[in-house]
Amino acid sequence: MRAPFTSFVVLSAVSSSLAAWVPLSSLQNRVDSPFLDCLETAGFDPVVQGESEYATDAAPFNLRFDWKPAALVYPNDSAGVAAAVKCGAAHSIKVNARSGGHSYAAFALGGEDGHLTVDLNNLRHLSVSGDTATIGAGNRLGDVALYLWENGQRAMAHGTCPYVGIGGHAGQGGFGLPSRAWGLLADQVQSLEIVTADGSILTASQSENSDLFWAATGAGSSFGIITSFTTVTHEALDSVAFSYTFANYGPAEASKGLQAWQNFANDPSKPLDVSLGLQIHIAPGDSPSGVVFSVSGQYYGVDEAKVNATFAPLLAELGQPSATFIQTQDWITSVLFLAGTTGLDSLNTTLAPDTHDDFYATSTFVSLDEPLGSPSTDAVMEYFYGPGATSEVAWFVIFDLYGGGESVINKVGADYNAFNARDALYSIQYYGTIPNSVSDADGISFIQGMKAAIEDNQPQTFFKEYVNYIDSTYTADFAHQKYYPTHTARLTDLKNKYDPNRVIHHPQDF
């Protein structure tokens, strides 16, 4: 990765007299092109194919993809981002931001060959003021959580992986276990700074460029490059982590278990406390069936007695767990626990490199109005405990509760921002690491079989999906139907307004 360039050079981006500043090495290593000249004149030392850094810098988190960007640049301020976007626009090279690089379809690398990746790694400023935080878009979730904890014991709702970037995560939703109480990460954003396709640096909030703010909090990858988020923060609460494992389940018990969980989550006569983050995990594991079903989560601001009392009625339906785990944790311990790691340093993503995976994932939102019927839950559990028990694909499925009770995710209203699933009761993420012994096509088909078991056995004909679990196999039109079914027209109009030439663009864009 290249060292940041200087603001002096950014401000002088239009001056061709700066060409002499460009490091000789990159000039020697690349084929001359007006596009690269533009970047170099703007003060960048772009990483291009054929250079030693390229393989590492262009490596996606999801190794199933091998997109070849035309160049990668590393601005260190908004002016630098604007200069890079202008070069892309001037030379008809599509541009994509990279924050954490964790897009399931590697869209930060273009989602196809020949794009310009604007890596935001040098935009890692962080500050807190009262109950708000300002967060550079190059920060990862671990760095944000650690900073907020160490600067006033503040917190936000966000996902569990420390290396996920705030740019893609907040830009397109961002679910975490406190989200029923605090909303998605996108909902906690109060304002943002964004570089639009013409190179303007704009502030967007509910009172300023409000249409752009609406679009960028939910469909963030399509409306510019967000350089900074200002977010609300919350008191970092203690919580109780809980997990009830049912290693003795077979498909019938698991189907009944999912039905019981679903009823418990959305029982109008007993509204579920929004401080409860609730999941089901199902994955291959050490059990007679080869598959393990567990109900788990985090209950914020309560003690263990409250957890035991809350789950007694559900456990009466689920039966005796084969293992139970209950532990009171302070906030940062819960962040580490959910990340599956220990030690505060493990949240500092500058200390160790990111990992990679070779995988396919997709998702389903089950709506509040139409919970799954038993034909659907029977079919999917037969799939998990049948083909799933012996598959070479290393799979897991997570059910994340969004709704129930007075969940803030639902309560903000259907059109609060571009995120288009305010009627979600829960999401289902189907994820599979595909080993070398299995072809991509077979691995993808195996995971899609899970989803088909759910969706083909349910009377409803339409399910929304979660764009942060972006399905790499979708056309743009199909993706819009799934991720933005009632927001596509408005988002397309806004895309025409802010990016008429489709400068900032990926294959599922508007």
Residues forming contacts to ligand FAD in the complex (CB under 6 A) are 61, 96-104, 107-108, 120, 137, 159-161, 164-165, 167-169, 171-176, 220-221, 225-226, 468, 506
CB of 326 to ligand FAD, least distance (A): 22
Q: How far is the CB of 226 from ligand FAD (least distance, A)?
A: 4
Which residues is 130 bridged to in the sheet? none
CA distances from 484 to 180, 468, 488 (A): 21, 12, 5
Q: Considering the complex, state which of residue 279 and residue 458 has its C-beta at the smaller distance from ligand FAD.
A: 279
CB of 488 to ligand FAD, least distance (A): 17
Q: Please, what is the end-to-end C-alpha distance for the chain in angstroms?
A: 31
> Residue 2 and residue 52: Cα distance in Å, rounded?
11
- Tokens matching residue 436: 């070398």
Q: Which is nearer to ligand FAD, 67 or 311 (CB)?
A: 67
Q: Is the dihedral of CA 210, 219, 103, 231 positive or negative?
A: positive
CA 51, 57, 62, 63 torsion-angle sign: positive
Minimal distance, residue 327 CB to ligand FAD, in Å:
20
- Cα 232 to chain centroid, rounded: 19
Least distance (Å) between residue 407 CB and ligand FAD:
15
Nearest alpha carbon to residue 404 among 295, 273, 299: 273
CB-nearer residue toward ligand FAD: 253 or 423: 423
For ligand FAD, the closer CB: 313 or 500: 500
* CA distance readout (Å), 261 to 265, 281, 316, 322, 504: 6, 12, 11, 17, 42
Rounded CA separation 8/317 (Å)? 66
Q: How far is CA 404 from the centre of its chain?
A: 22
Specify the residue for token string 């969980």.
Answer: 261
Quick one: 71 or 379, whose CB is closer to ligand FAD? 71
Task: Quote the CA–CA distance of 46 and 1 in Å, as a whole number.
Answer: 10
Minimum gap (Å) between residue 19 Cβ and ligand FAD: 29
Q: 10 Å Cβ neighbour count for 179?
A: 26
C-beta of 305 vs 351, nearer to ligand FAD: 351
| Nearer CB in complex with ligand FAD: 365/385 | 365
Instruction: State in angstroms the smallest separation of the CB of 319 from ligand FAD.
Output: 28
